[in-house]
């Protein structure tokens, strides 16, 4: 769980594996659920170029439901922001 916004929506980081636990991830998403447990959104996140994963330390949520992700690639460090509408 990443956190809860001011509207009571819950945010979860989900990573998907193609095979065994130690293999690189194939995809990662932030899943957003309403206070009643209904899925609101699925936000794809960028995987780190070096280990093909992301972590809770790299994804932050502010109280308003905006998501920030720090990730690295061959051309450097990036920060991505998804704004809650």
* DSSP-derived 3-state class of residue 56: helix
Q: Which domain holds residue 69?
A: 3-82
Which tens digit of pLDDT belongs to each residue from 38-63? 999 999 988 877 677 777 788 899 99
| Overall average pLDDT of the 12-19 stretch | 85
Give the pLDDT band (50/70/90) at residue 3. very high
DSSP 57: G
Q: Quote the CA–CA distance of 29 and 2 in Å, as a whole number.
A: 12
Structural domain count of the chain: 1
Give the pLDDT band (50/70/90) at residue 8. very high
Residue 64 has pLDDT above 90, yes or no: yes
| Overall average pLDDT of the 23-35 stretch | 88
């Amino acid at each position: 769980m990443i956190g809860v916004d001011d509207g009571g929506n819950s945010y979860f980081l989900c990573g998907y594996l193609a095979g065994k636990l130690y293999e690189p991830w194939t995809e990662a998403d932030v899943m957003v659920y309403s206070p009643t447990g209904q899925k609101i959104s699925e936000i794809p996140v960028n995987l780190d170029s070096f280990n093909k994963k992301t972590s809770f330390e790299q994804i932050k949520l502010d109280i308003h439901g905006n998501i920030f992700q720090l990730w690295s690639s061959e051309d450097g460090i990036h920060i991505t922001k998804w704004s809650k509408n």
